[in-house]
Structure 1
Amino acid sequence: MPETGGVREVKSAGRTVELLEVLAARGDRPARLRELAEELGVPRSSMYALLQTLTDRGWVRTDATGSLYGIGIRALLTGTSYLDTDPRVRAAGPHLDEASTTLGETVHMGRFDRGDVVYLATRESHEYLRTLSRVGRRLPAHVGALGKALLAERDAAELPAGELERFTPNTLCDRAALDADLALVRERGHSVDREEGVTGIVGFGFVLRYDTPAVDAVSCSVPVARLTGDHERRIIATMRRIRTEIEAAAHTPPGAPDWI
């Protein structure tokens, strides 16, 4: 059993968290009892009891037959509380609004988490429609502007290893290619995602250096059809300014916890 800070992990708590993470990762693909028991290596009787407990408390939901399971509404309420109480997300809000309005493009804020990026805030462009809200979405860090900006801040040991997941024909799935791209990120001071995460979309990412290494970043996404040389330069200049403003605003209030 793993240890955390010298304290042995509570097995039942660890299993509960693993189950919720599995259900959350499945998105709109509900799971059956057998699938969950096999994936987590838990006896079906124990998994059934855990599912029933979490269903009763709203963390898991089930269908009318009681045979399919998905993430429950309590997970949404807890996630919303995380965003509402994070001082850096609140501080960034007005600046994300300004960037999206000024540029007419979609702007994101994301946080590095165990090799992935979790989207914490999004300001959608009014010039084109997106079919997927990104708040709460988790993506591997190598596939987008936010993630590549954050990976460039990290030591080689923290970079993804092995075969990297492909999202589009342009995704950097080769470690050597990713390393070369991250070197360019460090040189120019921002990342560029040219249809690597979403076909037809180019992104520009900028880390927020109020932590070392940085854990937060902001980005601007623009359809390829709208991106000209002049617009690209305007995006970079605006996002650099916005980054500076967010860094200045995102301080921890006196007496507030210094979260890690």
Structure 2
Amino acid sequence: MPETESEAQLETGTETGGVREVKSAARTVELLELLAARGDRPARLRELAEELGVPRSSMYALLQTLIDRGWVRTDVTGSLYGIGIRALLTGTSYLDSDPWVRAARPFLDEASDALGETIHLARLDGGDVVYLATRESHEYLRTFSRVGRRLPAHAGALGKALLAERPDAELPLPEGELERLTPNTRTDRAALTADLAAIRERGYSVDREEGVLGIVGFGFALRHDDPATDAISCSVPVARLTQEHERQIVAVMREIRAKIESTAPARAAGSPEWRA
């Protein structure tokens, strides 16, 4: 903790929710999120400093601190920066400690064995969904569905299944026109609202090349929370989707959803009830 009043002033910033935000902590998180979002595109010191509005000297000092602790990595020249291995270890710990992810895993395997297609488990995070587990298709299929990937909730089966669990007035969507990922993405709110109404009526969502061209997805919200925060989906190439296969997918995924929901982990006495 800061030992003097001047140190405290340096460490604290604007007040949020009745608690003063610690500037250095917020800056560290913003830097890690920025590096993570860049994926395989390393950044230079100048880029990071300009993006976050931080003096280069301060950014350099922060980067060196995080490199020493494994949260950031740099190349042999010391001029390029990327996310470090500690981020992976922390993310893995999140998955391993989550009772719903653990409960769902064997049923994801069951769905994969029954359908031979790619199966996902994802969680709503603001206006996005984050992939928590994936079982790849028995056939080669590049769906860019790695664990940790984020997608706008309005643009895929997983996200739409979860949005449909919420009233239209409470949808966690950004202002203005929605992001377009493919020519089929619904970017108009009226069109999305109509689609969500159909999903509520049907009981599951369908994404026909709205998130990835050539891929159709079927999403099913897991109602162990109210409103649901987790969903499962099955993704299949358009070329392999027949009416019969679609009926099979819906039947199997409905059964898998019921099995996951019926194995609700009992919360041990005194264990925390996490918000997300």
Mark yes or no: TM-score above 0.5. Answer: yes
CA-to-partner distance for each residue in 1:79-107, whole Å, 9 max, x for gaps?
01111111100000011100111011110
Correspondence for 2:233 among 219, 223, 227: 219
Q: Compute the TM-score of the two structures, normalised by the length of structure 2.
A: 0.90
1:158 to 171, 191, 195: 171
Match of 1:206 in 2: 220
| Aligned counterpart in structure 1 of residue 262 of structure 2, from 240, 248, 253 | 248
Residue 77 in structure 1 maps to residue 84 in structure 2: no
Match of 2:62 among 50, 66, 79: 50
Contact 1:92/1:250 (<8 A) preserved: no
Aligned-partner Cα distance in 2 for 1:90–1:140: 25
Q: Which residue of 2 aligns with 1:168?
A: 182
TM-score by length of structure 1 reads 0.96
Deviation at 1:225, TM superposition (A): 1.1
SS where residue 9 of structure 1 aligns? strand
State the match for 1:186 in structure 2: 200
The 1:133–1:202 alpha-carbon spacing in structure 2 relative to 1, beyond 3 Å, is: closer
Aligned partner of 1:229 in structure 2 is: 243
Rounded to whole Å, the distance in 2 between the matches of 1:206 and 1:45 is 49
Unaligned runs of 5+ in 1: none
Aligned CA RMSD, in angstroms, stands at: 1.4
Identity across the alignment (%): 78
Instruction: Confirm whether residue 196 of structure 1 aligns to residue 210 of structure 2.
Output: yes
> Once the 2 structures are TM-superposed, how far is the Cα of residue 31 of structure 1 from its aligned partner?
1.1
Bigger mean CA deviation after superposition, 149-158 or 57-66? 149-158
> Is 1:37 aligned to residue 49 of structure 2?
yes
Choose from 89, 106, 121 the match for 1:94.
Answer: 106
Q: By how many angstroms is 1:180 displaced?
A: 1.2
Contact 1:105 1:126 in 2 (8 A): yes
Task: Give, as a single letter, the amino acid of the residue that structure 2 aligns with 1:101.
Answer: D
Q: Return the offset for 1:4.
A: 4.8
For 2:274, give the aligned amino acid: W
Q: For structure 2, which runs of at least 5 residues remain unmatched after alignment? A: 1-12
1:49-77: per-residue Cα shift (whole Å, max 9, x none)? Answer: 11110011110011111111111110011
CA contact (8 A) 1:206 1:217 kept: yes
CA–CA distance in structure 2, aligned partners of residues 235 and 128 of structure 1 = 18
